[in-house]
């Protein structure tokens, strides 16, 4: 009997210890969860702002692993500019004279062709380009350029003229140039999809390039000489390779899209995308919209991109594309259309990236986020926008904005957020496919 009572006491003691330990474990778990909540933050440290990089948790299922425009670049404030159009000719007195002596980007077209020929290690099959002046001014030729491998390329140049909004019928402006393989092979469209759907595409190696960055800098130097204009130090190298395409197809499959990219052997590319420079920042084409308020008036140029003059779309400059394969350059797509003009607003203080990040947090705070997403970019960029309608007739401008990129592998790809660099006003939130 005594033995039974002793065993009973031991059991009670064991039960008490077990309950006590369980209670401690629950308390530890509770404290651990509380600690986890405390690790969420929606602002950057001064060190992170200075270095231009940060990694932390913003909220449940939302991570910040971001490259930020370093604070040093905007600490003294930034300016806004009126937009200026690039004109190829000051005055076009004689159409035939231009056709006989065409210029492109301020250089003789024959000089441009020589520069392209040297860079591509290819030869033009014609000695003198003939420009068609019967309508828009165009020089277009197929099989006109042949490289050392025997591949043939088309060459296309276009100059605009007589646009009603400009009222400049005697000047040529906004020239573009496009060079591409005659057989049409290209990785550019796939490259755009890779940017939108693969978070770490920059880390993918390209087998035929020993140094992607070195090649990118060489191409940048060439394009600056060709265009006669500085390009931003912010540019992209987009691998279109077996590895990146495999990851892209997986991303499609993950969101139940039927899209699929087939990359044939030997058709790997690396697409470089450049932007014109505006005082140390890239000039991007974000297509920002502005709703005209009651009583506001719109200039002809500001209203070029809309039909009803009630919703305007910002005019900007195209990005510059140069695509390479194992054989060298396979396509070049350039333009010289718009640039910053006179100062519209003197230097103003730029909002902290904290403000933009907190607005992104508020946006996602209203949603149920079921799978992880990552904020990967917070950059100050210049793009086309408009003057304040309260100041008189609305004019196009080149203005700075915070652009935020969020990778979430949604059906539509990445999401973008754009905030006024001075006021923090949300111009666009949660939109897809932006530059």
Which phi and psi angles does 314 have, rounded to 5°? -60, 135
Instruction: Using the predicted structure, report yes or no on whether residue 32 has a pLDDT greater than 60.
Output: no
Cβ contacts of residue 406 below 8 Å, gap of 6+? 360, 373, 374, 375, 376, 414, 415, 416, 417
Say if residues 43 and 351 touch (Cβ distance below 8 Å): no
Cβ contacts of residue 4 below 8 Å, gap of 6+? none
Query: Averaged over 19-41, what is the pLDDT?
Result: 53
pLDDT for res 336: 96
Give the orientation angle of helix 242-254 with respect to helix 188-197, to 10 degrees.
60
Tens-digit pLDDT profile for residues 259-315: 999 988 778 999 999 999 999 999 999 999 999 999 999 998 898 877 677 899 999
CA distances from 62 to 42, 168, 310 (A): 11, 51, 36
Instruction: Using the predicted structure, report yes or no on whether residue 69 has a pLDDT greater than 50.
Output: yes
Lowest mean pLDDT among 43-47, 132-136, 171-175: 132-136
Q: Kindly report the number of other CB atoms within 10 A of residue 267's CB atom.
A: 17
Tens-digit pLDDT profile for residues 8-24: 444 444 444 444 444 54
Band of the pLDDT at 25, cuts 50, 70, 90?
Answer: low
pLDDT for res 210: 92
Instruction: Using the predicted structure, report yes or no on whether residue 29 has a pLDDT greater than 60.
Output: no
Instruction: Using the predicted structure, report yes or no on whether residue 7 has a pLDDT greater than 60.
Output: no
Residue in 130, 310, 320 with CA at minimum distance from that of residue 220? 320
Question: Of residues 10 and 97, which shows the higher confidence score?
Answer: 97
Burial 307-324 (b: 16+ CB within 10 A, else e): eeeeebbbbbbbbbbbbb
pLDDT for res 412: 82
Instruction: Using the predicted structure, report yes or no on whether residue 155 has a pLDDT greater than 70.
Output: yes
CA distance 408 to 350: 28
Tens-digit pLDDT profile for residues 334-374: 999 999 999 999 999 999 999 999 999 999 999 989 889 99
pLDDT for res 410: 81
CA distance 271 to 330: 10
Question: Of residues 381 and 137, which shows the higher confidence score?
Answer: 381
Which phi and psi angles does 153 have, rounded to 5°? -130, 150
% of the chain with per-residue pLDDT over 70: 89
Query: Averaged over 182-199, what is the pLDDT?
Result: 88
CA 28 to chain centre: 46
């Amino acid at each position: 009997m005594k033995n039974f009572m002793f065993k009973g006491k031991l059991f009670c003691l064991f039960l008490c210890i077990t309950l006590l330990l369980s209670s401690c474990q629950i308390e530890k778990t509770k404290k651990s969860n509380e600690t986890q909540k405390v690790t969420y933050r929606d602002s950057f440290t001064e060190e992170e702002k200075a270095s231009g990089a940060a990694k932390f948790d913003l909220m449940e299922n939302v991570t910040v692993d971001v490259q930020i425009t370093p604070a040093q670049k905007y600490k003294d404030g930034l300016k806004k500019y009126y937009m200026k159009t690039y004109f190829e000719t000051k005055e076009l007195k004689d159409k035939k004279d231009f056709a006989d002596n065409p210029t492109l980007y301020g250089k003789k077209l024959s000089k441009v062709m020589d520069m392209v020929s040297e860079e591509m290690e290819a030869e033009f099959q014609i000695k003198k380009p003939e420009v068609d002046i019967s309508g828009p001014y165009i020089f277009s030729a197929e099989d006109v350029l042949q490289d050392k491998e025997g591949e043939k390329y088309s060459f296309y140049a276009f100059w605009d003229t007589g646009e009603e909004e400009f009222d400049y019928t005697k000047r040529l402006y906004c020239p573009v140039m496009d060079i591409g393989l005659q057989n049409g092979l290209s990785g550019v469209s796939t490259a755009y999809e890779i940017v939108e759907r693969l978070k770490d595409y920059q880390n993918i190696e390209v087998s035929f390039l020993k140094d992607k960055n070195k090649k990118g800098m060489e191409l940048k130097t060439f394009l600056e000489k060709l265009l006669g204009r500085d390009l931003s130090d912010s540019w992209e190298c987009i691998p279109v390779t077996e590895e990146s395409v495999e990851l892209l197809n997986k991303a499609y499959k993950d969101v139940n899209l039927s899209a699929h990219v087939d990359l044939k052997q030997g058709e790997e590319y690396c697409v470089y995308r450049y932007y014109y420079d505006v005082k140390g920042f890239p000039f991007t084409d974000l297509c920002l919209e502005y709703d005209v308020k009651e009583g506001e008036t719109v200039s002809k140029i500001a209203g070029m991109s809309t039909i009803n003059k009630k919703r305007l779309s910002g005019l900007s400059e195209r990005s510059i594309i140069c695509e390479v394969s194992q054989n060298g350059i396979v396509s070049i797509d350039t333009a010289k259309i718009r640039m910053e003009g006179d100062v519209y607003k003197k230097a103003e203080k730029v909002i902290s990236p904290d403000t933009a990040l907190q607005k992104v947090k508020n946006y996602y705070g209203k949603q149920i986020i079921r799978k992880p997403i990552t904020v990967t970019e917070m950059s100050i960029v210049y793009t086309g926008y408009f003057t304040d309608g309260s100041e008189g007739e609305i004019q196009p401008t080149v203005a700075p904005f915070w652009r935020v990129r969020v990778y979430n592998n949604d059906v539509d790809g990445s999401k973008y957020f754009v905030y006024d660099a001075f006021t923090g006003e949300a111009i666009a939130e949660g939109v897809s496919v932006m530059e």
